[in-house]
Structure 1
C-alpha cells in the first residue's frame, strides 16, 4: 500500500490522499479515490480469497483515515448492496455528499469535536452522514485527538 508523503512538514508524514496544492495550501476538493481503490482491493481479497463474511469487517479511521473508512463503506454499499459490520470515524468527514436511493444499513459512529476546536467537522458533516447511513451515532468530545477516556 502506498501513501503520499506530505512534503511541507518538518517531520516525515504521510497522507491517504493529496490534501495540499504545490504551494502547501489545503485543497478545497480533495480526491480520496486512490485510497478507496486500494482499500477496495484489500476488502475484495479478505472476502473472496480469505472467505471473511462482510459483517466481520469493521472499518476505523482517524482524520483522513476516518474519511477513507466512511467513503469506502458508502462506495461498497453502492456498488455491491452489501454492508460490512460497522465504521468508526474520529474527526473524519465525508468528502462526498451522499444521494443514494437507499441508505447504507451499516452503523457508523462519528467522534468529533465541536467548534471552535481546530479539528471540528464542517457544519454540514453530520447531515452528510445521515444522508448516507441509516444508523448514525454521534459522540462529541472535549479535547483534540483520539478519544482518551472510558466515557469517550
Structure 2
C-alpha cells in the first residue's frame, strides 16, 4: 500500500493539536492571558505564563532556585539580572508553543540548554563573559519548544 502526499501533513496536524492540548492543560490561563502583564517578584521560584498575550517578570532575590515558564501564542520576558542563585544550579522548566521566551541573565551566570526543539530555535545573544568561569552558577533550561523561540541575553 502506498502512502499519498498528504500523510505527512495529517501527522503534523495531529502533532499540532496534541501540543496545543498539552500546553493548554499545563498553562494557567488566568495569568498573563491577553494584553501585557508585568510584575516584580522576590520569591525563590519563578512562575511566568503567557497565553495569547505578554507577561514580563523581573526577579529580585538572592535565593533563586528555578521555576516554570510557559508561552503559548504569547511572549514571556524574564529579567534575572538582579537575582542570585541559592546554590550552584537552578532549573527553569520552559514550554514554548508558537511563542517566544526572552531571558536576561547576570553576566556571571552560565546557561546550559537542554531544550528539545520541535521546529523551533533557541539563541544565546550574549558574549562569553570572563566572569562566567568553571565555578559560576549554572541556569539549566529544560523543556520543549514547538514553533517557538527562546532567546538568552544580558
What range describes the TM-score normalised by the shorter chain of this pair?
0.3 to 0.5
Calculate the TM-score normalised by the size of structure 1.
0.36
Structure holding more strand per residue? 2
Calculate the TM-score normalised by the size of structure 2.
0.35
Pick 1 or 2: higher relative contact order, CA cutoff 8 A, min separation 6: 2
